Homo-oligomer: A and B are copies of this chain.
Amino acid sequence: MADEESPAYPKVPRSTINRYKPRGKYDYASIHDIVNTMPIVHVSFPTLDPEDPFPAVLPMIGFMASFENQAAGLDEALDLYLHGYVSSRIMRLSKDGGSGAEKGLPLTVAATHLDGLVLALTPNSHSYNYRSAILHGYATPVTDHEEKVWAMEEITNSVLADRWTNTRVPPNKTEMTTTQILRVRIVSASAKIRSGEPHDDRKDLKDEEMRKKVWVGVVPTWIQYGEPKACEYNLAGNVPDYVKAFVDGENKEGRRKAEEAAMDGG
Contact = CB atoms under 8 A, between A and B. Distances in A.
A204 B263 CA distance: 49
A19 B236 CA distance: 31
Interface string A202-215: 00110110111111
Given A42-B112, A128-B39, A215-B234, A119 B227 contact: no
Q: Main secondary structure on chain A at its contact with chain B?
A: mixed
Interface stretch (A1-9, A65-73, A162-170): A162-170
Contacts of A130: 40, 59
A134 to B, nearest CB: 5
A54 interface: yes
A57 interface: yes
Which among A17, A152, A168, A192 has the greatest number of chain B C-beta atoms within 10 A? A168
A20 B160 contact: no
Interface in A206-248: 207-208, 210-237, 239-240, 243, 247
From A166, A226, A232, A254, name the one whose CB has the most chain B CB atoms within 10 angstroms: A226
A55 B135 CA distance: 11
Interface string A48-80: 000011111101010000000000000000000
Given A19-B85, A160-B119, A42 B217 contact: no
Say which size band chain A's interface belongs to. 35 or more
Interface string A177-195: 0110000000000001000
A103 to B, nearest CB: 12
Contacts of A99: 53
A139 B164 CA distance: 44
A128 B200 CA distance: 40
Contact of A57 (B42, B164, B232): B42
Contact of A216 (B14, B233, B259, B263): B233
Nearest to A107: B54
A258 interface: yes
Given A124-B171, A219-B229, 6 more contacts: A44-B44, A54-B106, A114-B223, A215-B234, A217-B239, A220-B227
21 contacts: A39-B128, A40-B112, A42-B110, A53-B98, A55-B55, A57-B108, A59-B112, A117-B160, A119-B160, A119-B163, A119-B228, A120-B167, A124-B178, A126-B156, A168-B204, A198-B231, A215-B230, A217-B239, A222-B224, A223-B224, A226-B259
